[in-house]
Amino acid sequence: MSPTDEPGWAPDPSAARLGDRTLFEGLASFAYLNHAAISPMSREVRRALGAMMDDYARDGVDSFLRWQRQRERLRGRLAALIGAAPAELALLPSTTRTVVDAALSIPWRAGDRVVCFAGEFPTNVTPWQRAAATFGLEVVMLEADSLGGERGLARLAEELSRGARLVAVSAVEFQTGLATPLAEIVRLAHAAGAEVFVDAIQAVGVVPLDVRALGVDYLGCGSHKWLMGAEGAAFLYVRAGAELVPRVAGWLSHEDPTRFLFEPGQLRYDRPFKRDATMLETGAINALGFAALEASVACIEAIGVAAIFEHVQRYHDALEPALIERGFASERHPTLRSGILSLRPPAGTDAAAIARALRERGVACSSPDGRLRFAPHWPNALDEVPRVIDALDACG
């Protein structure tokens, strides 16, 4: 195999089926309901990692171009998953880096205002605060949990009427599971002359999402939750035509960055910077993480995000009433739904203690900020639900 050939490995999603954990034969929990935190690695993901390590062990640098082609293949898959063009995506190390790089690369003017939301994961707040301190911006905080109703959208419209450069919001709120009304948020923002950045790590892979149809300007997403890849891989979508300033540029941010490696007399430091999202791919990349990500994305593609979403809602529909009967207060929105079922525990009980007790009984879930959070995905079978309820009852 020459260095320019495709890698010998290719994803095989044939065993990926709704409610079937065949690809997760080593998973200890009988009900893994923690995909909103970190997904377990499937057999396909592990096969991709092994293939890449074997290739590099055998050929060293000659493997590089093969797996670079694999990443371009992945870029196309990710773009199709969110309704984008491949050139609109940068492959980056984490959701946090997608926000940081966007926050540092937008052509700000002193006094620009950024609207953020209290209740967001800090990933989508801290970088905007640091950009504000660096560029003389103003950060305005609204309440994330109000976005599920008319009052919250009216409050956003009121704030936007005072002027704003950008709205930073999550596609799905990590605490409550609210799927924010992105179409309406984008409409309000654009009408006021503002752009929209979406943290989509709690959405992509389980909630259907089309950046073109929504009109989103920027979107960042990591791979280790609903995309079911490994930690340390992410992508940033930048709408074609959106202006970026190369403040975080590296050697690969230039046009023709590698030409000097193959042609004499081409070592230069003045090549123009790329004009699309790939300008933010500045240097060496987590190649293993992106090999893993293509394997998991291929499984999601094979099933279909819409089918996964409906399957997860059926799981929630079966689980939620039993929890309400036991005194839990559900925060699931009647229409703005996601992969997360979040509930407040009965008075006098501790969500973290319940999550620990469930884990001991084979149910993996989490307890962010005092909620009990269940997050099933496509491998979870509906017949797990009675056993989950039995495990909860056994917790006392």
How would you classify the pairing of strands 89-92 and 31-32?
Answer: unpaired
What span, in angstroms and rounded, lies between the C-alpha atoms of 65 and 63? 6
How confident is the model at residue 293, as a pLDDT?
98
Q: Considering the domain 305-394, what is its CATH architecture?
A: Alpha-Beta Complex (3.90)
Question: What local confidence, expressed as pLDDT, does residue 2 receive?
Answer: 42
69-300 belongs to CATH 1.10.10.10: no
Q: What pLDDT was estimated at residue 7?
A: 83
- pLDDT at 34 (0 to 100): 98
Work out whether strand 329-330 and strand 113-118 pair parallel, antiparallel, or are unpaired: unpaired
Q: Which of 237, 202, 256, 203 is nearest to 101 (CA)?
A: 237
Q: What is the residue type of 387?
A: R
Q: Distance (Å, rounded) from C-alpha 329 to C-alpha 97?
A: 35
Q: For residue 379, what pLDDT is reported?
A: 98
- Which residues, in sequence order, are CB contacts of 396 under 8 Å at separation 6+? 357
DSSP annotation string for 182-231: HHHHHHHHHHTT-EEEEE-TTTTTTS---HHHHT-SEEEEESSSTT---T
pLDDT averages per 10-residue partition of the chain, 396 residues? 67 97 97 98 98 96 93 98 98 98 98 97 98 98 94 97 98 97 98 98 98 98 98 98 96 95 94 95 96 98 98 98 97 97 96 97 97 98 98 92
The single-letter DSSP state of residue 256 is: S
DSSP strand pairing (341-344 vs 329-330): antiparallel
Q: Hey, do 69-300 and 305-394 end up sharing a CATH topology, with the first three levels equal?
A: no
Domain ranges of the chain: 69-300, 305-394
